Structure 1
Amino acid sequence: MASHDTKRQSINPPPTRAMYDQLHFSQATRVDDLIWVSGQVGVDATTMQPADGMGAQARLAFGGVQTVLEAAGASLADIVELTTFHTDLRGDIEEFARVKDAYLPDRYPSWTAVGVTQLARPELLVEIRAIAVAGSGDT
């Protein structure tokens, strides 16, 4: 059997280190060029409070995805699959889609939207997880 020098990296930007230590999960895991980003939510990093409304929460969550991908050596353009979890899928999907399209304006990734009854905190409306391939978004 051939030896393969694949290394698994845990990606935890400095502001997320406390979450890693407390809850024992990484914001992302990178193996070669593949990056799996853990669910990001619409919580303000300074106040640790959820933003008001779907649009604001979606922007913060996409900002979290972007921060984690940059720490992993990738960008939003490298996302190949997006999974989103919504507490009011039917009511909020259009507003969410507008925000998504602002962050991912072309070369749309695969996307699955799932309606759920609850997220980690009752005020949360959406959670975004992503899979990216570093360098794949380069044009």
Structure 2
Amino acid sequence: MSGFKTYSYPGIGGWDRTSGEISGDVNAEVDQAFENVEANLRHAGGKGWSQVYRVVTYSTDLKATHDRIIANYRRWMPDHQPAWTEVGVARLGLDTMHVEIEVEALDPEGAAAAKATEAAKAE
């Protein structure tokens, strides 16, 4: 066991978490995608964007999404700058999608708990 607790979320889009609908406004879709990442990380027991160390964004229109992604990056991660890769793609999972986010996060508290459990098993 590595002693790390990580979260990995490929393919989080900007759909409304209640209705599943994707906004027709690209900026609203980007905002919602970032909110969805936060919600997923917290639901799994993490602390959200503050634990993210790697981000990949996929966009069907880089010019339309780039500035809004940067604004969200600054909003959700004002105190750190995870590695970010921005990829232009021809299409995403749904025809109405313009952006998708993939993240990896490390939970230091979860890592410490995992190490303590591993040490207890070794005794």
| TM-score interval (norm. to shorter) | 0.7 to 0.9
Q: Secondary structure at the match of 2:108?
A: coil
Match of 2:45 in 1: 73
Instruction: Supply the distance in 1 between the matched residues of 2:32 and 2:61 (Cα, whole angstroms).
Output: 18
The secondary structure found in structure 2 opposite 1:131 is strand
- Is 1:82 the counterpart of 2:55? The answer is yes
* Structure 2: stretches of 5+ with no match in the other structure: 110-123
Shift of 1:103: 1.4
Task: Say what the alpha-carbon RMSD is for the aligned residues.
Answer: 1.9
Q: Count matched residues.
A: 108
Partner letter of residue 130 of structure 1? V
Compute the TM-score of the two structures, normalised by the length of structure 2.
Answer: 0.78
Within the alignment, does 1:135 sit opposite 2:78 as a pair? no
TM-score by length of 1: 0.70
Which runs of 5 or more structure 1 residues have no equivalent in the other structure?
A: 7-30
* Corresponding residue SS for 1:84: strand
Between the aligned partners of 2:65 and 2:14, the Cα distance in structure 1 is: 14
Runs of 4 or more above 2 Å deviation:
none
2:34 to 37, 42, 62: 62
Higher relative contact order (CA 8 A, sep 6+): 2
Within 2, Cα distance between the matches of 1:122 and 1:61? 16
**Which of 105, 109, 112 pairs up with 2:78?**
105
